[in-house]
């Protein structure tokens, strides 16, 4: 029997936000498997499922943290997938607004470069998350594989929110893609898309208190042919 529709996906989408401070409490392996199984239902071009996910817990998360802390200072940043930009117009404005909200939540001033660097560096400690999922795609499949990976990311983060698990997507990790490949023993065929740190949110940390805004539907939707569109 088809289950009755619920609005749990809409509720998860309303509630989800990027978490930048985690408690150390691990997520039960059975729940991690459940979240991965939900994400595995994501659609993909011709059902190719181009993603591979490397997920860590406990000592493996700590080992990845330690590896990056040791190796990044001597490494040159190198993305597999070109980073976006230049940002202009409305894209630049939205980017600026979310950045200002992040720094304001921490009381970091516009010119406090040291504090901004320190916050950016927290990407490489995964904001103390107990788990990291590194998302890669096959490099031969082109840009649509990245669309597929984005669908996987959405499925995973919404399923996690629905289960009370906090997440953050992190392209910062992809800026050192060769190091990530080295840690996990991956071939150059695998392109690093991003990491998703996850665990339980430290609700007391002010960095988790701010929420980003979204553009109005009228700014992004061109709706045609509906009887009423109010």
Whole-number minimum distance, CB 47 to ligand FMN, in Å? 22
d(CA 133, CA 122): 16
Least Å from the CB of residue 82 to ligand FMN: 13
Yes or no: say if 136 and 51 are a contact pair by the CB < 8 Å rule: yes
* Shortest distance (Å) from residue 79 CB to ligand FMN: 11
Exactly one of 40, 78, 189, 212 binds ligand FMN (CB under 6 A); that residue is 212
Please report the DSSP string for 31-44 in residue order. HHHHHHHHHTT---
Cα dihedral angle (203, 98, 199, 24), rounded to 10 degrees? Answer: -60
Site string for ligand FMN, 191-210 (x = CB under 6 A): ---x----------------
Nearest distance from C-beta of residue 18 to ligand FMN, angstroms: 4
Q: Which is nearer to ligand FMN, 35 or 169 (CB)?
A: 169
Q: Which of 61, 123, 161, 177 binds ligand FMN (CB under 6 A)?
A: 123
17 binding ligand FMN? (CB under 6 A): yes
69-76: list long-range contacts, CB under 8 Å, 24+ apart: 69/124, 69/125, 71/176, 71/179, 72/124, 72/176, 72/179, 75/176, 75/178, 75/179
Q: Which residue from 98, 103, 162, 205 is in contact with ligand FMN, where contact means CB under 6 A?
A: 98
Q: How far is the CB of 29 from ligand FMN (least distance, A)?
A: 25
**Within 154-193, which residues bind ligand FMN (CB under 6 A)?**
168-172
**What's the burial of 180, exposed, middle or buried (CB within 10 Å: 0-12/13-18/19+)?**
buried
Query: Which token pair is 121?
Result: 């560096």
Q: Which residues bind ligand FMN (CB under 6 A)?
A: 17-18, 20, 98, 123, 168-172, 194, 212
């Amino acid at each position: 029997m088809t289950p009755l529709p619920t609005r749990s996906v809409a509720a998860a989408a309303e509630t989800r936000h990027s978490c930048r401070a985690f408690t150390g409490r691990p997520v039960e392996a059975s729940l991690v498997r459940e979240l991965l199984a939900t994400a595995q239902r994501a659609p993909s071009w011709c059902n190719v499922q181009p993603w591979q996910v490397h997920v860590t817990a406990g000592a493996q998360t700590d080992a990845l943290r330690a590896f990056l802390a040791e190796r990044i200072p001597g490494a040159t940043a190198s993305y597999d997938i070109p980073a976006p930009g230049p940002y202009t117009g409305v894209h630049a404005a939205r980017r600026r607004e979310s950045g200002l909200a992040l720094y304001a939540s921490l009381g970091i001033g516009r010119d406090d470069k040291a504090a901004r660097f320190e916050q950016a560096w927290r990407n490489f400690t995964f904001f103390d998350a107990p788990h990291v999922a590194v998302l890669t795609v096959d490099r031969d499949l082109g840009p649509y594989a990245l669309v597929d990976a984005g669908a996987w990311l959405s499925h995973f983060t919404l399923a996690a929110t629905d289960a009370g698990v906090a997440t953050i997507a992190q392209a910062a990790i992809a800026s050192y893609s060769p190091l990530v490949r080295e840690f996990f023993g991956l071939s150059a065929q695998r392109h690093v898309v991003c990491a998703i740190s996850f665990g339980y949110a430290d609700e007391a940390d002010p960095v988790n208190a701010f929420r980003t805004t979204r553009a109005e539907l009228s700014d992004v939707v061109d709706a045609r042919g509906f009887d009423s569109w109010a």
